Amino acid sequence: MQKVSRRDFIRTGSLAAAGIGISAEKLIGAGNQVRPVKVGVIGTGNRGTSHVSNLLTIEGVEIIAVCDLFEDRAKNAASICEKNGRKPPSVYFGDMNAYKKMLDKEDLDAVIIATYWDSHSSIAVDAMEHKIYPGSEVPAALTVDDTWKLVETSEKTGIPCMMLENWSFRQDNLALLNMKRLGMLGEIVHCHCAHSHDCIDHWFFDSKTGLDRWPADYLRKYNRDQYPTHSVGPVISWLDINRGDAFEEIYSRDSASKGINAYFKRKFGNDHPNANLTYKQGDIVTSTLRTKMGKTLVINYDMQLPRPYSNRWMLQGTLGVYYEEKGMIYLTDISPEYHQWEPWKPYEEKYNHKWWQKDLSSQSHGGTDYVMLNQFINAVRSEGPTPIDVYDSAVMTAIVELSGISIEKNAPVPFPDFTRGKWQTNKPYFALDSDKA
C-alpha cells in the first residue's frame, strides 16, 4: 500500500468531510481481485482470538502476525489461521514490548489491539507512528491526556484511529439511525443509555474460585463509569456529536458499593478473601451530559448487581420516542394508537441498513463484530477514513476519567472539544445509507 499518499490524502480531511464512499479502484486490485489487507493482531486472549476468527471470514484479509504476552495464546491464534488453510502468521510473545518488534519487522497495513485496557492507547500511538491503522478494543484510552495523544498523533501522522465499538454497528441501532436521519423522530431532545451487564462472576472475578481477573483491580482503585462505550457508541450519531453538536459538560454521581461483597458472601461465604474487601467502585454510576445545542443524555454504568443484560437505549424527539428495552416505538401521526407503544421490529426490518443485507446471526455478537471489522478493513483497503474516527473514539473514551473526576468533585466538569471547534461544520458520515437516509 502507498502509505505516503494515504497520509497526505487523509490529512486534508476532505473525504471524511464530504462523506465520500470507498472507490472501486482502491478496493479492487489487478485481475479484479479484492486488494489484500495485511493485519497483525496484538492480544490473543478471548477477545483477540474472536477477532482472528472473524477476520478470517473477510475476503482479502491476510493475518501475517500475532502477538501476546503468553506464548501459548499467541501460538493458539496462529493455529486458528493454519486450521483455516492460511499461511501461518509470525508469532511474537514474551513481554509488554513484544508488539514493538512486530511493528518494526512486519509489513502491516493494520493492527487489531485486544490487550489490557491500560495499554490500548500506547499501542495505537505506536502503530500510527509506524503508518499502520490501529483498530483498538474499548476503551481506546483511560485518561483524557492519553485520549488527546491519540487525537494529536492521528492528526500528525494522517493515520486514522478507530475504536472497535461494535454496538454502534448493531442492526437495530443502524435502523434507528436511518429513521433519525429521515426526521421520523423530529428534533432530538433527550437520550438514555446504559451498560447493564452483571459481570461479577465471569469478567471481574473467576466464577469457580472467586479469584481476581485482571479487570478486578479497577474496581478497587477507581470509582467512575469504567465501561461507557457500548452504551454511548450508537448515541454519538443519534445526537450528531462532533458533527453539528458537542458535549458541553458531564456530571456523575455514584451509589454505594454493595453488590461485590454481597456476591462473595452469597456464593463463597464470609471467609472468602474478597467478601469483606473495600471496593472503591460504586455499583451504579449515573452521568448526565448536556450538549452545546441543548440536548441531554443520561448514562448508567451498571455491572455489579444481579440483572439480565440490557443497554436501555431510549431516544426521544419532538415527534416520537424509541425504547429499546421494551422493544417498542411511538411516532406521532404514524403509530396507529394515540400515545400507545407499537412493536419496534417491523420498523427495524423496513429501515434496515445496507450493511445488514444478509443473515449474520451465527457470527459473534450476532454479526456486529463482522460488520464492524469488515467496514474497518474496507477503510484500510481504500486508504480512507475509518467508520468511527479518532474524534468519536475520543469522546466515548473520555467519559471514563471525566466521570471519576466529577464524582470526586461532586460537580459538573467541562467536556473537552477534541475537534477544536470543527464540530460546528463537520457533516455526518458514519453509516450513511443512501437507500434509506
Regions of the chain short of the pLDDT cut 70: 1-32, 437
Please say whether the structural domain 168-361+386-424 has been given the CATH code 3.40.640.10.
no
pLDDT at 225: 98
Distance CA 66, CA 77 (A): 7
Four-point Cα dihedral 138, 140, 144, 147, nearest 10 = -160
* pLDDT for position 29: 55
The residues facing 188 across adjacent strands are: 317
Q: What are the extents of the domains in the chain?
A: 3-164, 168-361+386-424
Query: With 0-12 CB in 10 A as exposed, 13-18 as middle and 19+ as buried, what is 58?
Result: middle
Cβ contact 406:299 at 8 Å: no
First to last CA, the chain: 33
Domain 3-164 class, CATH top level: alpha beta
**pLDDT score of 12:** 39
Query: 10 Å Cβ neighbour count for 145?
Result: 10
How long is the chain? 437
